[in-house]
Amino acid sequence: MIGSEEAAFSALLERHRRELQVHCYRMLASFEDAEDLVQETFLRAWRGRSGFSFQGDGPARAWLYRIATNACLDFLAAHPRRAVASRDVPAEVAWLQPYPDRLLEGIAPAHTEPDAAVVAKETIELVFLVAIQHLPPRQRAVLILRDLLGWSAKDAAAMIDASVASVNSALQRARATIKQHLPARRQEWAATDDPNESERRLLRRFVDAHERADAAALATLLAAHARAVMPPLQTWWDGRDAIAGAMAEVPFQPESFGRFRLVPIRANRQPAVACYLRRPGETEFRALGIDVLRIEDGLVVEMTSFSCRPLGPRFSDAEVPDLFPAFGLPQTYR
């Protein structure tokens, strides 16, 4: 391929970039790894472009999904990861990272097939990402291809070089396993994609409670059984009182810890906030982390906090992902 043919092939790759990134993200649960695997997918596709005859976008899309799926499986084989099997350990998926909603906007502007299935809320939320990480990689791939993307058993089998019978068996096992790791009420609270006014009002109160360092106000927004987790740390709080008490003890101490500034955002089709912190004596609010909220019945039932700054002496700057650029956010506010 030369000239216009190379340009057309590059355009083809770019047309599918976002949905392939979502696919890799589901496989890996890490935004950074998903970005890397999309690049690996494009590299493999570029190398193999001369042996593939494109007849419409459908075959090209299937071909790219096959490459991306196998790139992820190869990555997981080389970097084995194991999700913790107990809900008593909150950082079940230590490598979990949030996905910016703004990167989903160009994939499925309306509920039309096939792209709508790529970004349906219940298939991108953090709780679902955590659940499918409990599956062995090939079962995870089969579940995503069959139940999330709607590929036939025959097509899914071709993508991972397996038999139809083995794909059907893997899907049954995957469905049984994932039910054990999803909240019982999931179908109730994952009914819509767009935030309603009640949710927006709750988020404004959440922001206000943090900026005023008001633990009592925060407590009124939490369900009694709420949980706060901070992957990759084995640090968590169970229950409204425990969360509010922990916040009052350390971060809600402006004179010693500093003051917060929160910016409402969306991540994983969920309400979220970007947290900035101005330490005592500093003049700027610096990027601190991203909190993603899960809401049931108008109350926060889970806060997942992703730090963008080193968390103590065990972490260096290089080990803490800088998630703010992916969300289109500045590093500082005055």
Tell whether the model's pLDDT for residue 86 goes beyond 80.
no
Segment 44-68 shows an average pLDDT of 82
Q: Whole-angstrom Cα distance, residue 121 to residue 129?
A: 11
DSSP state of 321: -
What are the start-end ranges of the H helices in the chain? Answer: 4-15, 17-28, 31-47, 57-78, 126-132, 137-143, 153-159, 164-179, 186-189, 197-211, 215-219, 240-249
Looking at residue 188, the DSSP 8-state letter turns out to be: H
The string of pLDDT tens digits covering residues 114-151 is: 544 555 667 899 999 999 999 999 999 999 999 999 99
Query: What would the two tokens of residue 16 be?
Result: 């599918």
Q: What angle do CA 166, 169, 171 make, to 5 degrees?
A: 110
136: its two tokens: 């062995």
Tokens of 137: 């990689």
CA distance 247 to 267: 23
Confidence category of residue 58, pLDDT binned at 50, 70, 90:
confident
Nearest to 28 by CA among 114, 122, 144: 144
Instruction: Kindly report the number of other CB atoms within 10 A of residue 17's CB atom.
Output: 18
Please report the pLDDT score of residue 234 as a whole number.
Answer: 72
CA 300 to chain centroid, in Å, comes to 18
Lowest mean pLDDT among 12-16, 28-32, 40-44, 133-137: 12-16
Q: Is the pLDDT of residue 90 over 70?
A: no
pLDDT recorded at residue 190: 46
Tokens of 117: 């299935």
Tokens of 288: 């601190």
**3-class DSSP state of 197:** helix
Q: What is the CA radius of gyration of the chain?
A: 21
pLDDT at 236: 85
| pLDDT band at residue 83 under the 50/70/90 scheme | confident
Q: Put residue 159 in one of left, alpha, beta given phi > 0 → left and psi -120 to 50 → alpha.
A: alpha
pTM score above 0.85: yes
Query: What's the pLDDT score for residue 285?
Result: 96
Is the pLDDT assigned to residue 89 strictly greater than 70? no
Which regions of 213-320 does DSSP assign to beta strands (E)?
222-229, 236-238, 259-267, 270-278, 285-296, 299-307
CA pseudo-torsion sign 135, 140, 144, 150: negative
Q: Is the pLDDT of residue 153 over 80?
A: yes
Model pLDDT for residues 267-289, shown as the tens digit of each residue = 999 999 999 999 999 999 999 99
DSSP lists the bridge partners of residue 293 as 303
pLDDT in the model for residue 91? 53
pLDDT > 90 in the chain, percent: 66
Tell me where in the chain the CATH 3.10.450.50 domain(s) lie: 197-333
Cα separation of 185 and 188, whole Å? Answer: 5
Mean per-residue pLDDT over the chain, rounded: 86
For 197-333, give the CATH class: alpha beta
